[in-house]
């Protein structure tokens, strides 16, 4: 199988045609979901965590009052959702215009993806882990300045201490924290779909979210299959920063960290992977082939396939020309255990759907194989 960095792009009309992509976050946290849909993807929002409600109205008032009183020159934030929670709380308490005035001239420093925050009148810079913040030129610029810092959960990573040592006047703003997912069944389903090949990519926006999604995958018995599919290139796991990718690394699951440096960073990474030759491909008798959950791309043409046909082609593709027995193919098909006759019918339907005959070959008394050109 070829990792297509050395291959020319597959130029289909929509780069993500046939791709199903799980957004393991609130769609607001990954603004690129609409970009992915415009490129032909089906996007499935499946946040593994919800934002916990404020339990104490006094804490809300205190937080907003502290931000307004500080008139910060710098605001260091971690997540898009938590940043905008400040504004929701302020307007709910009748102090929205005061907060807007207090932060209007502040420089917003984003600890992660540049796509995370967008606010009229705010300049923004990009920072990543606290160790990198310590070396960043902005730290020295903050000496003697007023800085509001959104605190990390569950424990501090030491950023406030770094800034205080640099001479900043720091106001720590507590994060709201995480609650249970809004739809636990949807999260469970997304992990099973990722393991079964019904999903082509999973996008994460926070380390807590990626850790929670992996925990659900493990509880559903799907984690090993997710790791296997990510390792063979058939499942892309993408994050905006190395911090968010941390739980994936800990679970020994390959992932891609977006490097585009703009608010559509995750979309950029996914489009580059599938539309610019990053996904695995094979040279077959029908032409260069990539397999997606909704079909196949063969020599610049997307061929839509029903679920059973796509699963069958995926199994043959991953075998890279090796013969698969009928029993092996039966295990790869969705649904209840399949008989030999059902396998033969599935092979016949796949052959009918492909543009060139002979791509799926019968090996007498052994099974079926994909006609790979290099063999």
Domain-wise residue ranges, the chain: 2-50+181-275, 53-176, 280-370
Q: What's the whole-number mean pLDDT along residues 228-253?
A: 91
Tell me what pLDDT residue 144 has.
85
Query: 114 pLDDT band (50/70/90 cuts)?
Result: very low
What is the percent of the chain where pLDDT is above 90? 46
| Cα separation, 125 vs 264, whole angstroms | 15
Highest mean pLDDT, choosing among 135-144, 263-272, 307-316, 354-363? 307-316
Query: 174 pLDDT band (50/70/90 cuts)?
Result: confident
Instruction: Identify the CATH assignment for 53-176 out of 3.40.50.10090, 3.40.50.300, 3.30.1330.10, 3.30.70.260.
Output: 3.40.50.10090
What is the percent of the chain where pLDDT is above 70? 79
CATH number of 2-50+181-275: 3.40.50.10090
DSSP-assigned letter for residue 337: P
Q: Are 126 and 114 in contact (CB under 8 A)?
A: yes
Q: Is the pLDDT of residue 96 over 80?
A: yes
Tell me what pLDDT residue 262 has.
44
CATH number of 280-370: 1.10.10.10
Tell me what pLDDT residue 325 has.
94
Query: 113 pLDDT band (50/70/90 cuts)?
Result: very low
Q: Are 72 and 39 in contact (CB under 8 A)?
A: no
Tell me what pLDDT residue 156 has.
55
Tens of pLDDT along 76-87? 876 655 666 777
- Which secondary-structure segment (H or E) carries 196? helix 184-196
> Do 2-50+181-275 and 53-176 show the same overall fold?
yes
Phi-psi category of residue 300: left, alpha or beta, with phi > 0 → left and psi -120 to 50 → alpha = left
What strands lie across the sheet with 20-24, from one edge to the other? 42-45, 20-24, 201-204, 236-239, 256-257
């Amino acid at each position: 199988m070829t990792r297509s960095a050395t291959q020319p792009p597959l130029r289909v009309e929509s780069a993500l045609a046939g791709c199903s992509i799980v957004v393991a976050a609130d769609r607001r946290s990954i603004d690129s979901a609409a970009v992915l849909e415009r490129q032909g993807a089906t996007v499935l929002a499946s946040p593994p965590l919800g934002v916990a409600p404020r339990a104490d109205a006094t804490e809300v008032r205190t937080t907003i009052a502290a931000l307004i009183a500080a008139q910060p020159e710098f605001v260091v934030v971690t997540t898009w959702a938590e940043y905008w929670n400040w504004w929701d709380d302020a307007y709910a308490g009748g102090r929205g215009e005061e907060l807007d005035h207090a932060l209007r001239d502040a420089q917003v420093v984003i600890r992660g993806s540049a796509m995370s925050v967008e606010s009229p009148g705010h300049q923004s810079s990009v920072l990543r882990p606290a160790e990198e913040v310590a070396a960043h030129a902005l730290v020295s610029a903050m000496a003697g300045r007023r800085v509001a810092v959104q605190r990390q959960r569950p424990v501090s990573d030491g950023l406030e201490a770094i800034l205080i040592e640099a001479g900043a006047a720091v106001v720590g703003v507590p994060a709201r924290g995480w609650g249970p997912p809004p739809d636990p069944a949807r999260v469970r389903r997304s992990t099973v779909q990722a393991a079964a090949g019904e999903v082509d990519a999973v996008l994460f926006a926070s380390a807590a979210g990626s850790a929670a999604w992996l925990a659900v995958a493990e509880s559903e018995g799907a984690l090993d299959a997710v790791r296997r599919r990510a390792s063979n290139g058939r499942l892309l796991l993408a994050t905006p920063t190395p911090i968010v990718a941390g739980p994936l690394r800990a679970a020994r699951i390959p992932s891609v960290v977006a490097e585009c440096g703009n608010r559509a960073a995750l979309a950029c990474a996914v489009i580059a992977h599938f539309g610019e030759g990053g996904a695995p491909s094979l040279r077959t008798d029908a032409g260069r082939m990539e397999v997606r959950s909704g079909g196949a791309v063969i020599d610049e043409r997307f061929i839509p396939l029903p679920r059973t046909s796509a699963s069958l082609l995926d199994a043959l593709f991953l075998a890279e020309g090796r013969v698969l027995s009928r029993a092996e193919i039966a295990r790869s098909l969705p649904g209840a255990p399949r008989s030999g006759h059902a396998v033969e019918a599935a092979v016949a339907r796949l052959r009918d759907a492909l543009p060139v005959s002979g791509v799926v070959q019968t090996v007498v008394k052994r099974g079926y194989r994909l006609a790979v050109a290099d063999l």
